[in-house]
Amino acid sequence: MAHQALPFAITLDILKRRLPAHLQEPKIGIVCGSGLSTLASALRDVVEVPYSELEGFGTSTVQGHKSSLAFGLLGPGNGIPVVAMLGRFHPYEGHKLSTVVYPIRVLARLGVRNLIITNAAGSLNPKLPVGTIVAIQDHVAIPNMAGPLNPLLGPSLGPEYPRFLPLSNAHSIKLRRLAFLAAHKLGLADDALAEGVYAWVSGPTYETPAEGRFLRAAGADVVGMSTIPEVLAAREEGLEVIVLSLVTNFVVIPDKYRSIKEEVKAELAGKPIEQPPQQVVSHQEVLNVGKQKADVMKDLVAKIIEMIPTD
């Protein structure tokens, strides 16, 4: 889809007709990662609009991703109007990159200025065990660097959009400071919220051990199959962005490979070598950890939102 053909006016008109006045101009957006759609349970006065009703939106086909926008209020008093994407689109599902980032551009047009993006990710760093939430400080986007998977490729959306977007400031310091202050206010343990670098891979395959080692050597702490296209579009739209990755598994990186040659030789010599079962990652494991940690992520996101200054 060429940028010029994006149906913003239609999508915005549908939303205007579906939403009560007090929810029409959310200032803060949330993207819910795999297994994290329950983040929306922190909202009051919720109105859910299925993606199927929204021109330009696709359908999320991944287990653990609902397909709707949830509008509601969060925080004390009258509350802050917020919109949550319950489910996202990944390029590996076959969605075009323009579709993957379309909801982010719609959120920007509704008035969202701060975006909290969550995801499930595999850990490459022994110091980031399963269950840790990682405030992303930087990213390595392999598909952007080595293939045509950059969502900003193509004609510019307009003269007000920078042709060459800087990314050295992609991950908001202001929002990351709020995240650590929020964790402190919630009394979370020091290691519950860490900092690290996210590697974006296209998926849908999980990493081979050699790929895991490669990403670690490239400076990444966690790896996932989403988020970075959303960050790029959000930055292009002028939003402040924070990414919170929930570590759901370790990427399998054994210290050394099993030598099948040695095993066969030992077997032939009548001294077979016992081997532990091979480890593999599964999406079910990812969803289970998402479920276990959804409440911590929800409390953290809600507290950050309460602390974002409103003008």
Catalytic residues: 34, 65, 90, 92-93, 120, 225-226, 249, 283
Q: Under rule CB under 6 A, which residues in 224-243 are in contact with ligand HPA?
A: 224-225
User: What is the C-alpha to C-alpha distance for residues 230 and 140, in angstroms, rounded to an integer?
Assistant: 14
Tell whether residue 249 is among the known ligand binding residues.
yes
Tell whether residue 288 is among the known ligand binding residues.
no
Q: Under rule CB under 6 A, which residues in 224-243 are in contact with ligand LQZ7MJT6?
A: 224-227
Residue 33 touches which of ligand HPA, ligand LQZ7MJT6, none (Cβ within 5-8 Å per kind): ligand LQZ7MJT6
Please, which residue, 125 or 249, has the CB nearer to ligand HPA? Answer: 249
User: What is the C-alpha to C-alpha distance for residues 168 and 2, in angstroms, rounded to an integer?
Assistant: 27
Residue 68 engages ligand LQZ7MJT6 in binding (rule: CB under 6 A)? no
Please, which residue, 225 or 242, has the CB nearer to ligand HPA? Answer: 225
Side-chain half-sphere exposure of 253, counting CA atoms within 13 A: 20
Residue where the block lists tokens 């790029």: 232
Buried b (16+ CB within 10 A) or exposed e, 73-111: bbbeeebbbbbbbbbbbbbebebebbbbbbbbbbbbebe
Residue 250 engages ligand LQZ7MJT6 in binding (rule: CB under 6 A)? no
Please, which residue, 75 or 91, has the CB nearer to ligand HPA? Answer: 91
Buried b (16+ CB within 10 A) or exposed e, 9-29: eebbebbeebbeeebeebbbb
Residue 286 engages ligand HPA in binding (rule: CB under 6 A)? yes
Residue 281 engages ligand HPA in binding (rule: CB under 6 A)? yes
Tell whether residue 282 is among the known ligand binding residues.
no
Measured CA distances, 262 to 252, 270, 276 (Å): 22, 12, 16
Three-state SS annotation for 241-303? EEEEEEEEEECCCCCCCCCHHHHHHHHHCCCCCCCCCCCCCCHHHHHHHHHHHHHHHHHHHHH
Cβ atoms of residues 222 and 128 within 8 Å: yes
Residue 119 engages ligand LQZ7MJT6 in binding (rule: CB under 6 A)? yes
Residue 61 engages ligand LQZ7MJT6 in binding (rule: CB under 6 A)? no
Binding part of the chain for ligand LQZ7MJT6, among 11-19, 146-154, 157-165, 220-228 by CB under 6 A, reads 220-228
Tell whether residue 89 is among the known ligand binding residues.
yes
Cβ atoms of residues 270 and 225 within 8 Å: no
User: What is the C-alpha to C-alpha distance for residues 110 and 248, in angstroms, rounded to an integer?
Assistant: 32
Backbone angles phi, psi at 62, to 5 degrees: -95, 135
Cβ atoms of residues 183 and 175 within 8 Å: no
Please, which residue, 259 or 284, has the CB nearer to ligand LQZ7MJT6? Answer: 284
Please, which residue, 121 or 242, has the CB nearer to ligand HPA? Answer: 121
Tell whether residue 41 is among the known ligand binding residues.
no
Residue 223 touches which of ligand HPA, ligand LQZ7MJT6, none (Cβ within 5-8 Å per kind): ligand HPA
Residue 251 touches which of ligand LQZ7MJT6, ligand HPA, none (Cβ within 5-8 Å per kind): ligand HPA
Binding part of the chain for ligand HPA, among 70-78, 91-99, 107-115, 217-225 by CB under 6 A, reads 217-225
- As annotated, the binding site for phosphate includes 34, 65, 88-90, 120, 226
Applying CB under 6 A, which residues contact ligand HPA?
Answer: 120-122, 206-207, 223-225, 248-249, 251, 281, 286
